[in-house]
A and B are shown apart, each in its own frame.
Chain A
């Protein structure tokens, strides 16, 4: 206790130093006077009384010094002294300070901003209780990829595992919902009843699903998100009157989930899965699965168990083939959400780290130049008895001050930076909403600034205080101490800067070239002037009801064509690129005679490899191909001949025709693709259309089978309108028509070009950021080269003067100075190229159409860098040639 008290007393004394000094003086003075008074009383003469008292009491100043040391905290006082001194130094060299602080602020700010994204997306725990125990569970398909789960497989995983407390499945969908404020297209999830237990949450109002709610034929129930409850339902406390019409059926709202719970992301309504019963097939992969591990079970144990169950299914299932699972796996939920974002983000972090290094190198050079200007001051301090440790501490203090000011400004900048990053970030970057300047990010920024300070300070201090400092004094202020050494270190720093910058710019170049290559890809369809309109009708199974929906869509298309400015209208089950592609499946090549009478009859056919083909399955109208400009290569597209009762037809994509039928003409052949929509009627191929990159420009086109919407009706479609009028006029007219046909059906509009450019978002994001970092690094490195060369020329003015006086031509001088710079540049470039060759390999997965060692990029970047650096050398070198020997010699 007394020790703690003492500490606080001493700490407090730091702030009241002046008053306490005065008090001590007074106290000692009064002590002396009292002593003198006593002496006088004893009969001494005034002089003697005074002398006696002073002798008895000892040195006043000494006492004060001892007293002061006891009173405050000497360590902190020295620190404060160093700080005051450092502040004075920085204030005196405002230009230097501003450049150093801004350089550090820019780089620390950029690094902090990027780190906040990395932290928010990859590192920050998911906002659920013990979120690290929540796992995603996948099937592994024969190709080795993760896939969704089929119902019976999920049931086996659930019933046979001992690793999980709970596992639940969920499927996502977008449906039409009415009964709330207005009909909307809303994201929903179909979940098994113990879905919420996995996340450890409970409804804040109402109740959770009970087992009975998921039973076939149970009264439909729904849980709603907090936001939906507030905005769409008007936050009723009593849910008994809340009903929603979802895809035509009426659901009772039974509970409200806590605010902030949106899993899967953007979902507003959770419905029990399998209200119509489970799908008995082991090859219909319709659900994702999550589970919470039991206490004490590791991810690896769970993984092994699920894998064993999966392999058992594989070994015993009767449904052998390309679509039956081969294995199973367990991955932490967080990893499965952010898996794809990981490598681009880490590349970004690496890139900004490089920028930081280049920036620090510049500041180090600035500090070194400063230090050699201060050589005289250091010499004097050292001559007056300052220990080397004290001088080192002075440099460290200055570096700390610079870094912390820079870091502080950087963090302020990072607030804007993060807002900008979030705005710029591609839509498919997961967890963007959890990106912010949070406490861990601030701690990171502080640690970063501190390590920058320690690095810079220690480096400069050791350089500046090594050797015999006092030589600077002996040389009569000519300040040559360490001059040569400092210049050499400067050039080494410049070489390092050039190497790092080269690697960064090469990375930016490779990504930029990839983006250009992607943009060169012909998507296979038109992008501009297309408005998409998503419409979904209640899901129905009855063929008559389906036919009625087809007529509804046919009417809608006819009415939409009447809108002024609409040139053509089509419909498709899913837009390429935008909707993540079409579903794929297995089809069978067969003739009408071979068609089995019962489903069981398909078994033997499925084992005949030569019959089986694999393709994406799209439902479209003839207008769709015209609107998107997908070319007809041979045969014809659907027309009025193909009514619901005439033979069903299909149009296939060029690559499917080529790969599947090789030299044969597929037109006229028949296939069976009933597993996609339950319709077992054969499809006659009538035409071949161009390939479409429907999973993204950087992925190869997929073989596709298109069927006619009016023969194979479905409830949810996307209408595509080719327009030459204002988008808003068209959308409001279209909305009016839909309302007129059925006021309960919502529509969602988007322009195809929006969707298309969003698909390039993550590439553009990387190119913009890394390109920006590259440019900044290039500027910094150029400034670094220029600074070192200019400094070196100014320090060597005398030497150059002597050379010129002895007959060196200006060409000689130019060559000498340039030569010195060139050596640093070439060493830097060489190291940079070797380093880049090693580093760009990590970029491989982000590249498209260019090799990680693309010679063109490497050559271009090297030229750019050497050119800029040479220019930066040339200006100081020119200045060197104009040195007047007389002035230079007299100068010092």
Chain B
């Protein structure tokens, strides 16, 4: 567990949005689990990072929340993507792809010179 990485805020928001897009409405625990699984258990998501990030997204209007009941009958707060959230996800994803692409070019071994 000690070698697992903590996620940093900016990327966590993007991961949350993406998760909600692909999974539909989900509670905090579900989101955390999903992110950890998707990362191949390389990431660890704890309360201290997840809940402030959810709050921030909600304040910005990208997600909304509602109390509901989970599969095994626990009361839980479900988050879902808003329309503004979808747009935000699209633009952020695009930016992120660009950034990684640029970085990849820098980091990949030079082919000719």
Contact = CB atoms under 8 A, between A and B. Distances in A.
A325 to B, nearest CB: 75
B44 interface: yes
Nearest to A41: B72
Contacts of B72: 34, 37
Given A23-B77, A30-B74, A34-B76, A70 B29 contact: no
Contacts of A23: 77
A33 B60 contact: no
Nearest to A38: B33
Interface string A45-80: 000000000001111101100110011000000000
Contacts of B28: 27, 31
B55 A67 contact: yes
A90 to B, nearest CB: 35
Interface residues of B, number: 26
Interface string B26-63: 01111011000000000010111001100110111110
A70 B28 CA distance: 17
Contacts of B70: 30, 34
A2 interface: yes
Contact of A66 (B1, B48, B61, B62): B48
A215 to B, nearest CB: 74
Contacts of A5: 59-61
B46 A71 contact: no
A33 to B, nearest CB: 6
Contact of B48 (A2, A24, A62): A62
A85 B51 CA distance: 31
Interface string A485-529: 000000000000000000000000000000000000000000000
A5 B52 CA distance: 16
A59 B47 CA distance: 8
A27 B56 CA distance: 16
B75 interface: yes
B46 A34 contact: no
Contact of B59 (A9, A30, A62, A63): A9
A5 B60 CA distance: 6
A57 B60 CA distance: 25
Interface in A8-47: 9-10, 23-24, 26-28, 30-31, 33-35, 37-38
A6 interface: yes
Nearest to B72: A37
B51 to A, nearest CB: 5
B47 A34 contact: no
A30 B60 contact: no
A60 B48 CA distance: 8
A37 B61 CA distance: 32
Given A24-B51, A70-B55, A56 B44 contact: yes
Nearest to A59: B48
Nearest to B60: A2
Contacts of B52: 63, 66-67, 70
Contacts, number: 73
Given A26-B75, A27-B77, A30-B74, A58 B48 contact: yes
B46 A31 contact: no
B61 A27 contact: no
Interface in A403-446: none
A30 B51 CA distance: 13
A71 B29 contact: no
Contacts of A2: 60-62
Contacts of B58: 9
A70 B72 CA distance: 31
A26 to B, nearest CB: 7
A830 B76 CA distance: 77
A70 B60 CA distance: 12
Nearest to A10: B59
Contacts of B46: 56-58, 63
A27 B76 contact: yes
B51 A63 contact: yes
Given A70-B52, A70-B55, A58 B47 contact: yes
A692 B32 CA distance: 102
Nearest to B75: A30
Contacts of B33: 38
A66 B46 CA distance: 13
B42 to A, nearest CB: 15
A665 B11 CA distance: 113
B95 to A, nearest CB: 15
B75 A70 contact: no
Contacts of B56: 6, 70
A27 B51 contact: yes
Contacts of B76: 27, 30-31, 34
Contacts of B44: 56
B59 A35 contact: no
A78 B3 CA distance: 39
B72 to A, nearest CB: 6
A773 B46 CA distance: 68
Nearest to A60: B47
Interface string A834-870: 0000000000000000000000000000000000000
B15 to A, nearest CB: 17
B11 to A, nearest CB: 18
Contacts of B74: 30, 33-34, 37
A46 to B, nearest CB: 16
A163 B58 CA distance: 65
Contacts of A66: 48, 52
A33 B30 CA distance: 12
A70 B77 CA distance: 18
B49 to A, nearest CB: 8
A9 B77 CA distance: 18
Interface string A766-778: 0000000000000
A235 to B, nearest CB: 58
Interface in A786-842: none
A33 B29 CA distance: 9
Contacts of A28: 47, 51
A67 B51 contact: yes
A68 to B, nearest CB: 10
Nearest to A37: B72
Given A2-B61, A57-B47, A58-B48, A30 B55 contact: no
A105 to B, nearest CB: 42
A166 to B, nearest CB: 59
Nearest to B74: A30
Contacts of A10: 59
A6 B57 CA distance: 9
Contacts of B60: 2, 5-6
Question: Looking at A26, A27, A35, A37, which has the most chain B CB atoms within 10 Å of its CB?
Answer: A27
A23 B27 CA distance: 14
A453 to B, nearest CB: 33
Contact of A6 (B32, B51, B59): B59
A837 B70 CA distance: 86
B55 A63 contact: no
A30 B52 CA distance: 16
A57 B47 CA distance: 5
Nearest to A69: B52
Nearest to B30: A34
23 contacts: A2-B61, A5-B60, A24-B51, A26-B75, A27-B51, A30-B74, A31-B27, A31-B28, A34-B27, A34-B30, A34-B74, A35-B29, A37-B74, A57-B46, A58-B46, A58-B47, A58-B48, A59-B48, A62-B48, A63-B47, A63-B51, A66-B48, A70-B52
Q: Which 7 A-B pairs have the closest CB atoms?
A: A2-B60, A58-B46, A9-B59, A63-B47, A34-B29, A6-B59, A31-B29
Given A5-B60, A27-B76, A70-B56, 18 more contacts: A5-B61, A6-B56, A6-B59, A9-B59, A10-B59, A24-B51, A26-B75, A30-B27, A30-B29, A31-B76, A33-B74, A34-B70, A56-B1, A57-B46, A63-B46, A63-B48, A67-B52, A70-B59
Interface of A: 2, 5-6, 9-10, 23-24, 26-28, 30-31, 33-35, 37-38, 56-60, 62-63, 66-67, 70-71
